[in-house]
Structure 1
């Protein structure tokens, strides 16, 4: 059950998939909510004033953060590829977008335009920015929190921009600030801008890069070969240029006596949003989803309701998509869906698992099995690694997640996909292991 709400310009829809039937005394209600946005202008060269833009200023602001630490000179082509990739991203900016480039070491440096401000993309500023990239050179340490804080200050200087986005590239571990300092920077920046994070080569920490992207509601990935950076940066910037609605929240209302067990994004990636709830009035909470272009995402909700007798039914949750208006005030409701609970003595009805719920439960387990299996492998627990990665192979096979299945096959020898029988490979390329870990949260959608 779901609905579109009438609104000018692009619209959102919310469809709810669930088995609403519970046995007598049953409490746990699971539902998948498919949220889709339709009707935007989209595209890297679209109008600089799409729906949702504020005032007369730029509709979007982007800061590109490039690792310039000493390790970027090994091999020398890495720095050159990073410059070329940044130039490609700048070339993808549409006219009217505010932007800046930051060079990151143990401190952050404004590369272009400087003076604590953003430039506005046009033929002239794009050419100037590409010229300024010649000053990027490798030397120094790595303190990513300082890069993020500078990006935040720059993006805040473009106060009229409705979409604020960062692109961050690193090739090493965050060794010149404490984990607590990075965590504090992420907490400061969360909700202020979104950020895609990339690790180039194999000397960086997967959990670190994925944690940055997760905190800032962006994507994380590996570019094992620096030669692939330009294509990846271009794709990231094209996606960023397609974002037109910012600060969208999933609002979940539950009745008296009900409690939210969890809220997770489950497609296109697994992202647990449960701990990011902010109160939104009586018995309601908002969960951030970031910025949207024309796209569709799936969310898994689990709500525990008060137990009831056969024949009773209730509204277990009301799901809304809301966005704050430019000038503040009451959030605009973009779409709504209803989650129901009906108590029955029909055993077949109450024990049936909704296909969407089953599929995404399996995808979340797949991501966890991969991460636990790789952790066991690193710690020397071969039996534990074999069991977990075998389970991952089985889940990838049964869910049709062929991309993950291919990545798993580079880490284990698959004896039987259906049963998850595998053998650990004796030699595994570090890039293959890191790619599997980085992309473990990517999911496939349920086949309708």
Structure 2
């Protein structure tokens, strides 16, 4: 599908040979002007997608510049207005754009973010995004979390294929239940890390600490349970070995979340001129990437630091780093690997 503006009124046009040719002709008549105003684009995309009688609404944002022609407040307002209305993948093309803007947009609209450092790779990346978008089958999926009286939800995170904080996105869904938005799903799997605090009890007691399910909204305002459900049990024991052992999956994804965090901290410190602090954080990142088998992130880190000993996290900052390499590391820092079998 392509979009067009006629008499300043946005409309959708079905894509076929004739309309594609018309779109190309129209684009050739355009001239650059007005600067980069991503919030304006998001609101227009929302208007166009809202007029479509379809369940899955998906946008793709490509930018080669920073959002310099509207205020951060305007962009935040646009993101708040569009959240939950459509999913959006965001790509930065070249290196003259702001990583935190692109990743923030994708996060707010439950899409993916990446860099296309060489514009020559844009067609292939766009094709891949379109194939992924066309593969989505269910829209507006939510993780529903029910907890009993006295239980406190500490956090809810997506931990694979990327780290995404969901805790503050909760909407109430009845007594002691809340929904956390997950966007559109296709033939895929994702992992989540949930932490709940339960009231104290006696040795040998057991309780249901949480019930997790996936739901989607129905037109009548109710929800449909997708059939996936998990029960979280809490058991009190005086077995020190059992109570202090960390589940391997929890340990793995806790490390992956820390990996994303220390990469961001290290790059921020490097930009601020705190090279000792940056070395420490990025060294820890190298250590975590090596221990967890996250080879892709390890390769990206090796373009920013010289690795002396990956096991101990001993590194030296490179004197010169290509801007594209640094931006790629920052953009992809939240990508994780699944726990080893």
* TM-score normalised according to structure 1 size: 0.74
> What is the aligned partner in structure 2 of residue 153 from structure 1?
47
Q: Is the 8 A contact 1:145 1:182 kept in 2?
A: yes
* Of 266, 269, 290, the match for 1:376: 269
Query: 2 CA distance for matches of 1:374 and 1:232?
Result: 26
Query: 1 CA distance for matches of 2:78 and 2:216?
Result: 25
> What is the aligned partner in structure 2 of residue 52 from structure 1?
none
Q: CA deviation at 1:119?
A: 1.7
SS in 2 for 1:117: strand
Structure 2: tracts of 5 or more residues without a match: none
Query: 2 CA distance for matches of 1:360 and 1:128?
Result: 49
> What is the aligned partner in structure 1 of residue 322 from structure 2?
429
Alignment of 1:261-280 (within 5 A): 261-280=154-173
Q: CA deviation at 1:132?
A: 3.7
RMSD of aligned alpha carbons = 1.5
> What is the aligned partner in structure 2 of residue 323 from structure 1?
216
Q: CA deviation at 1:320?
A: 0.7
Q: CA deviation at 1:271?
A: 0.5
Q: CA deviation at 1:143?
A: 1.0
Q: Is the 8 A contact 2:88 2:111 kept in 1?
A: yes
Alignment of 1:128-143 (within 5 A): 128-143=22-37
Q: Within the alignment, does 1:100 sit opposite 2:2 as a pair?
A: yes
Query: 2 CA distance for matches of 1:271 and 1:115?
Result: 36
Query: 2 CA distance for matches of 1:136 and 1:228?
Result: 24
* Of 196, 218, 221, the match for 2:114: 221
> What is the aligned partner in structure 2 of residue 281 from structure 1?
174
Alignment of 1:230-269 (within 5 A): 230-269=123-162
Question: Deviations for 1:78-106, whole angstroms, at most 9, x for unmatched residues?
Answer: xxxxxxxxxxxxxxxxxxxxx334xxxxx
Q: Is the 8 A contact 2:64 2:96 kept in 1?
A: yes
SS in 2 for 1:248: strand
Q: CA deviation at 1:146?
A: 0.4
How many residues are treated as equivalent by the alignment?
A: 340
Distance 1:431 1:346, change over 3 A: same
Query: 1 CA distance for matches of 2:37 and 2:168?
Result: 26
Alignment of 1:40-189 (within 5 A): 99-101=1-3, 110=4, 115-158=9-52, 160-189=53-82
Q: CA deviation at 1:130?
A: 4.3
Query: 2 CA distance for matches of 1:141 and 1:317?
Result: 49
Question: Deviations for 1:9-34, whole angstroms, at most 9, x for unmatched residues?
Answer: xxxxxxxxxxxxxxxxxxxxxxxxxx
> What is the aligned partner in structure 2 of residue 333 from structure 1?
225
> What is the aligned partner in structure 2 of residue 96 from structure 1?
none
Q: CA deviation at 1:244?
A: 1.1
SS in 2 for 1:301: strand
Q: Is the 8 A contact 2:116 2:122 kept in 1?
A: yes
Q: Is the 8 A contact 1:376 1:382 kept in 2?
A: yes
Q: Which segment drifts farther, 303-312 or 191-200?
A: 303-312
* Of 289, 298, 304, the match for 2:197: 304
Structure 1: tracts of 5 or more residues without a match: 1-98, 102-109
Q: More relative contact order in 1 or in 2 (CA 8 Å, sep 6+)? A: 1
Query: 2 CA distance for matches of 1:167 and 1:134?
Result: 21
> What is the aligned partner in structure 2 of residue 294 from structure 1?
187
* TM-score normalised according to structure 2 size: 0.96
Q: Is the 8 A contact 1:111 1:133 kept in 2?
A: no
Q: Going by fraction, where is helix more abundant, 1 or 2?
A: 2
> What is the aligned partner in structure 2 of residue 89 from structure 1?
none
> What is the aligned partner in structure 2 of residue 59 from structure 1?
none
